[in-house]
Amino acid sequence: AAGVIQSPRHLIKEKRETATLKCYPIPRHDTVYWYQQGPGQDPQFLISFYEKMQSDKGSIPDRFSAQQFSDYHSELNMSSLELGDSALYFCASSLGIAGGYNEQFFGPGTRLTVL
Amino acid sequence: AQKVTQAQTEISVVEKEDVTLDCVYETRDTTYYLFWYKQPPSGELVFLIRRNSFDEQNEISGRYSWNFQKSTSSFNFTITASQVVDSAVYFCALSVSTSGTYKYIFGTGTRLKVLA
């Protein structure tokens, strides 16, 4: 079965650079989520999209922005990178129509290292 | 407040022992959803089980079982006859809605080490 695809899997950037993370949800899933997991931490919700519209926002820095495109893939853009942005970034997708009952399927994550 | 507490930071057991991972949640919602995910050393998050607030029936799936008790706001996870491959971080999550769509609030996770 198709899973959530994230690219790249690993990314190394210097401070103050920009990074773009991509996510391709499971076909027919209408909701995409982004989470950030720092070392030894639990995943923290950043932002979500339902049918290409932003639906909720968590503790996402102003330096970050995201969007969902017409083909349902999503991109997380991160600018002015800081050392503290080093983390594992997960994208997840679900069928949003049933509300919170449907589980979120997570991609393998993008490991971002900021030097 | 919406919150998930996993008080056990790390547990070590010897293979074939049974182990229970605790999860306590807080929510004011009358309808809510709880999940368990496994994060092996490779890093991905693997869905294990979901439970909604109206379904207090306990569930068994192979060596895994879950005990959901609304009276104590707990959703505990037991692995019977643990194996080395069960070594992972296990997260309990509460699905909450603030604007029509749902997001997860995760507990801080319990790292399980199963020793051969």
Kindly identify which residue of chain A lies nearest to residue B94, measuring between CA atoms. Answer: A100
d(CA B95, CA B111): 22
User: pLDDT digit string (tens) for B63-107?
Assistant: 999 999 999 999 999 999 999 999 999 999 999 877 677 889 999
- Nearest CA to CA, how far is B27 from chain A (Å)? 14
Q: Which residues of A touch B107 (CB under 8 A)?
A: 42
Of A110, A93, A114, nearest in space to A32 by CA: A93
Tens of pLDDT, residue by residue over A9-36, are: 999 999 999 999 999 999 999 899 999 9
Percent of residues, chain A, with pLDDT higher than 70: 97
Cross-chain Cβ contact A42/B109 below 8 Å: yes
In this complex, which of A44, A103, A109 lies closest to B44 when CB atoms are compared?
A109
